[in-house]
Amino acid sequence: MSDVKLVNVTKSFNNINVLKNINLDICEGQIISLLGPSGCGKSTTLKLISGMIDIDGGDILIDNKSVNNIATGKRDVGIVFQDYLLFPHMSVFENIEFGLKMRKVKKDVRAKKVRELIELVKLTEYENKYPSELSGGQKQRVAIARTLAVNPKILLLDEPFSNLDINLRNEMREFVSDLQKKLNITTILVTHDKEEALMMSDKIAVMLDGEIKQFDTPNNLYERPNSKAVANIFGERN
Protein backbone atom coordinates (compact mmCIF):
# COMPACT_ATOMS: atom_id res chain seq x y z
CA MET A 1 0.00 0.00 0.00
CA SER A 2 1.19 3.47 -0.86
CA ASP A 3 2.15 5.47 2.19
CA VAL A 4 3.78 8.58 0.77
CA LYS A 5 3.08 9.79 -2.73
CA LEU A 6 4.37 12.83 -4.58
CA VAL A 7 2.54 13.73 -7.78
CA ASN A 8 4.06 16.30 -10.16
CA VAL A 9 5.51 18.30 -7.29
CA THR A 10 7.20 21.57 -8.20
CA LYS A 11 9.01 24.20 -6.18
CA SER A 12 10.82 27.41 -7.08
CA PHE A 13 12.93 29.80 -5.04
CA ASN A 14 13.38 33.31 -6.47
CA ASN A 15 12.07 32.15 -9.84
CA ILE A 16 14.55 29.31 -10.01
CA ASN A 17 12.85 25.99 -10.56
CA VAL A 18 14.45 23.85 -7.87
CA LEU A 19 12.08 20.88 -8.16
CA LYS A 20 10.77 20.36 -11.65
CA ASN A 21 8.27 17.56 -11.61
CA ILE A 22 8.80 15.13 -8.77
CA ASN A 23 6.90 11.84 -8.69
CA LEU A 24 7.44 9.26 -5.98
CA ASP A 25 5.39 6.42 -4.58
CA ILE A 26 6.65 4.84 -1.38
CA CYS A 27 5.08 1.73 0.10
CA GLU A 28 4.36 1.28 3.77
CA GLY A 29 7.32 -0.02 5.75
CA GLN A 30 9.87 0.63 3.02
CA ILE A 31 13.08 2.57 3.34
CA ILE A 32 13.98 4.51 0.24
CA SER A 33 16.84 6.88 -0.52
CA LEU A 34 16.93 10.17 -2.35
CA LEU A 35 20.41 10.02 -3.84
CA GLY A 36 22.02 12.92 -5.64
CA PRO A 37 24.73 15.59 -5.56
CA SER A 38 24.61 18.67 -3.37
CA GLY A 39 22.09 21.24 -4.59
CA CYS A 40 19.90 18.82 -6.61
CA GLY A 41 16.86 19.38 -4.36
CA LYS A 42 16.92 16.54 -1.84
CA SER A 43 16.43 18.60 1.33
CA THR A 44 13.77 20.71 -0.37
CA THR A 45 11.85 17.52 -1.16
CA LEU A 46 12.00 16.41 2.51
CA LYS A 47 10.96 19.85 3.73
CA LEU A 48 7.96 19.77 1.42
CA ILE A 49 6.92 16.35 2.72
CA SER A 50 7.29 17.48 6.33
CA GLY A 51 5.44 20.73 5.60
CA MET A 52 8.28 23.01 6.67
CA ILE A 53 7.85 24.75 3.30
CA ASP A 54 4.84 24.98 0.97
CA ILE A 55 4.65 23.40 -2.46
CA ASP A 56 4.05 25.48 -5.58
CA GLY A 57 2.33 22.80 -7.64
CA GLY A 58 1.32 19.15 -7.50
CA ASP A 59 0.23 17.01 -4.62
CA ILE A 60 1.73 15.32 -1.59
CA LEU A 61 -0.29 12.42 -0.22
CA ILE A 62 0.29 10.64 3.06
CA ASP A 63 -1.83 7.57 3.62
CA ASN A 64 -3.71 8.45 0.41
CA LYS A 65 -4.79 11.86 1.70
CA SER A 66 -3.51 15.16 0.36
CA VAL A 67 -1.55 17.00 3.05
CA ASN A 68 -0.97 20.17 1.02
CA ASN A 69 -3.13 22.17 3.42
CA ILE A 70 -2.15 20.36 6.60
CA ALA A 71 0.25 22.11 8.98
CA THR A 72 3.64 20.64 9.74
CA GLY A 73 2.84 19.49 13.27
CA LYS A 74 -0.22 17.57 12.11
CA ARG A 75 1.35 15.57 9.28
CA ASP A 76 2.56 12.61 11.29
CA VAL A 77 6.05 13.05 9.91
CA GLY A 78 9.32 13.15 11.87
CA ILE A 79 12.50 14.65 10.49
CA VAL A 80 16.13 14.25 11.61
CA PHE A 81 18.87 16.52 10.27
CA GLN A 82 22.63 16.04 10.07
CA ASP A 83 23.24 18.65 12.75
CA TYR A 84 21.35 17.17 15.61
CA LEU A 85 19.96 20.37 17.12
CA LEU A 86 19.63 18.88 20.58
CA PHE A 87 18.83 21.27 23.42
CA PRO A 88 22.23 21.75 25.12
CA HIS A 89 20.77 22.58 28.54
CA MET A 90 18.60 19.46 28.65
CA SER A 91 19.62 15.91 29.52
CA VAL A 92 19.15 12.97 27.15
CA PHE A 93 15.93 12.14 28.99
CA GLU A 94 14.62 15.72 28.77
CA ASN A 95 15.54 16.07 25.11
CA ILE A 96 13.54 12.96 24.23
CA GLU A 97 10.70 13.97 26.52
CA PHE A 98 10.34 17.47 25.10
CA GLY A 99 7.93 16.73 22.23
CA LEU A 100 5.69 14.70 24.54
CA LYS A 101 5.62 17.54 27.06
CA MET A 102 4.63 19.97 24.32
CA ARG A 103 1.76 17.66 23.44
CA LYS A 104 0.69 17.61 27.08
CA VAL A 105 1.22 13.89 27.51
CA LYS A 106 0.93 12.97 31.19
CA LYS A 107 4.12 12.70 33.22
CA ASP A 108 4.02 8.97 33.95
CA VAL A 109 3.10 8.10 30.36
CA ARG A 110 5.94 10.34 29.17
CA ALA A 111 8.48 8.72 31.46
CA LYS A 112 7.51 5.24 30.30
CA LYS A 113 7.74 6.21 26.64
CA VAL A 114 11.08 7.99 27.09
CA ARG A 115 12.59 4.97 28.88
CA GLU A 116 11.37 2.65 26.11
CA LEU A 117 13.02 4.89 23.52
CA ILE A 118 16.24 5.19 25.51
CA GLU A 119 16.40 1.41 25.53
CA LEU A 120 15.55 1.22 21.84
CA VAL A 121 18.44 3.52 20.92
CA LYS A 122 20.74 1.79 23.41
CA LEU A 123 21.46 4.76 25.69
CA THR A 124 20.32 3.29 29.00
CA GLU A 125 23.42 4.45 30.86
CA TYR A 126 23.17 7.95 29.48
CA GLU A 127 19.73 9.27 30.32
CA ASN A 128 21.07 11.95 32.70
CA LYS A 129 23.96 13.04 30.52
CA TYR A 130 23.98 16.29 28.55
CA PRO A 131 24.61 16.56 24.79
CA SER A 132 28.14 17.94 25.38
CA GLU A 133 29.01 14.66 27.15
CA LEU A 134 27.97 12.46 24.21
CA SER A 135 29.74 11.24 21.09
CA GLY A 136 28.44 12.15 17.64
CA GLY A 137 26.76 8.78 17.22
CA GLN A 138 25.12 8.99 20.63
CA LYS A 139 23.81 12.49 19.89
CA GLN A 140 22.40 11.26 16.63
CA ARG A 141 20.65 8.41 18.45
CA VAL A 142 19.10 10.92 20.86
CA ALA A 143 17.92 12.97 17.88
CA ILE A 144 16.30 9.88 16.36
CA ALA A 145 14.68 8.89 19.67
CA ARG A 146 13.34 12.41 20.11
CA THR A 147 11.80 12.29 16.65
CA LEU A 148 10.30 8.85 17.26
CA ALA A 149 8.82 9.92 20.63
CA VAL A 150 5.67 11.30 19.05
CA ASN A 151 5.09 8.13 16.97
CA PRO A 152 5.43 9.56 13.47
CA LYS A 153 4.13 7.43 10.63
CA ILE A 154 6.91 8.59 8.33
CA LEU A 155 10.56 9.10 9.22
CA LEU A 156 12.65 11.54 7.17
CA LEU A 157 16.43 11.48 7.56
CA ASP A 158 18.44 14.29 5.96
CA GLU A 159 22.07 13.18 5.55
CA PRO A 160 22.04 11.94 9.13
CA PHE A 161 25.51 10.39 9.04
CA SER A 162 27.55 12.94 7.13
CA ASN A 163 29.04 14.58 10.23
CA LEU A 164 30.26 11.26 11.64
CA ASP A 165 33.67 9.70 11.10
CA ILE A 166 33.82 6.61 8.92
CA ASN A 167 33.66 3.95 11.66
CA LEU A 168 30.82 5.63 13.45
CA ARG A 169 29.06 6.18 10.14
CA ASN A 170 29.07 2.45 9.39
CA GLU A 171 27.87 1.66 12.88
CA MET A 172 25.04 4.20 12.61
CA ARG A 173 24.00 2.94 9.18
CA GLU A 174 23.60 -0.52 10.61
CA PHE A 175 21.85 0.81 13.68
CA VAL A 176 19.31 2.79 11.66
CA SER A 177 18.73 -0.11 9.25
CA ASP A 178 17.99 -2.44 12.15
CA LEU A 179 15.76 0.11 13.85
CA GLN A 180 13.82 0.78 10.65
CA LYS A 181 13.17 -2.93 10.16
CA LYS A 182 12.25 -3.44 13.79
CA LEU A 183 9.73 -0.58 13.77
CA ASN A 184 8.72 -1.17 10.15
CA ILE A 185 8.46 2.60 9.78
CA THR A 186 8.26 4.12 6.30
CA THR A 187 11.54 5.99 5.90
CA ILE A 188 13.06 8.40 3.40
CA LEU A 189 16.83 8.78 3.67
CA VAL A 190 18.56 11.66 1.93
CA THR A 191 22.16 11.01 0.98
CA HIS A 192 24.80 11.93 -1.58
CA ASP A 193 26.62 8.66 -0.87
CA LYS A 194 25.92 5.83 -3.33
CA GLU A 195 27.29 3.10 -1.06
CA GLU A 196 25.05 4.27 1.76
CA ALA A 197 21.99 4.28 -0.48
CA LEU A 198 22.82 0.80 -1.78
CA MET A 199 23.43 -0.57 1.68
CA MET A 200 20.29 0.78 3.30
CA SER A 201 17.48 1.09 0.76
CA ASP A 202 14.67 -1.00 -0.66
CA LYS A 203 14.56 1.49 -3.53
CA ILE A 204 16.63 4.48 -4.61
CA ALA A 205 15.41 7.66 -6.30
CA VAL A 206 18.32 9.02 -8.34
CA MET A 207 18.00 12.79 -8.32
CA LEU A 208 19.77 15.27 -10.58
CA ASP A 209 19.07 18.94 -11.03
CA GLY A 210 15.57 18.96 -9.54
CA GLU A 211 14.40 15.79 -11.25
CA ILE A 212 14.16 12.12 -10.36
CA LYS A 213 15.89 10.27 -13.16
CA GLN A 214 14.98 6.78 -12.00
CA PHE A 215 13.27 5.29 -8.97
CA ASP A 216 14.08 1.63 -8.70
CA THR A 217 15.61 -1.19 -6.69
CA PRO A 218 19.42 -1.18 -6.29
CA ASN A 219 19.57 -4.24 -8.54
CA ASN A 220 17.57 -2.67 -11.37
CA LEU A 221 19.62 0.52 -11.19
CA TYR A 222 22.69 -1.61 -11.88
CA GLU A 223 21.14 -3.92 -14.41
CA ARG A 224 18.79 -1.59 -16.22
CA PRO A 225 19.76 2.06 -15.88
CA ASN A 226 17.24 4.06 -17.90
CA SER A 227 19.61 6.82 -18.97
CA LYS A 228 23.23 7.68 -19.42
CA ALA A 229 23.07 9.80 -16.28
CA VAL A 230 21.99 6.84 -14.14
CA ALA A 231 24.38 4.46 -15.89
CA ASN A 232 27.21 6.86 -15.07
CA ILE A 233 26.37 6.56 -11.42
CA PHE A 234 25.53 2.84 -11.21
CA GLY A 235 26.15 0.76 -14.28
CA GLU A 236 29.25 -0.44 -16.03
CA ARG A 237 27.77 0.35 -19.44
CA ASN A 238 27.70 3.93 -20.64
- Spatial neighbors of 79 by CB under 8 A, at least 6 apart, are 46, 50, 52, 147, 156, 157, 158
* Cβ closest to ligand ADP, residue 16 vs residue 166: 16
- Spatial neighbors of 121 by CB under 8 A, at least 6 apart, are 141, 142, 144, 145, 179
Chain positions 2 to 21 lying near ligand ADP, rule: CB under 6 A, are 13-14, 18
Task: Say if CB 213 and CB 230 are below 8 A apart.
Answer: yes
* Cβ closest to Mg ion, residue 46 vs residue 55: 46
Q: Binding Mg ion by CB under 5 A: which of 24, 26, 36, 43?
A: 43
Q: Residue 39: name its binding partner from Mg ion, ligand ADP, none (Cβ under 5 to 8 Å by kind).
A: ligand ADP
Distance CA 169, CA 68 (A): 34
Least Å distance, CB 72 to ligand ADP, is 15
- Using Cβ positions, the residue closest to Mg ion within the complex turns out to be 43
E strand residue ranges, 82-161: 154-158
Q: Binding to Mg ion by residue 33, rule CB under 5 A?
A: no
- Side chain identity at residue 61, one-letter code: L
Q: Binding ligand ADP by CB under 6 A: which of 33, 44, 50, 214?
A: 44
Interacting residues with Mg ion (CB under 5 A): 43
Interacting residues with ligand ADP (CB under 6 A): 13-14, 18, 36, 38-44
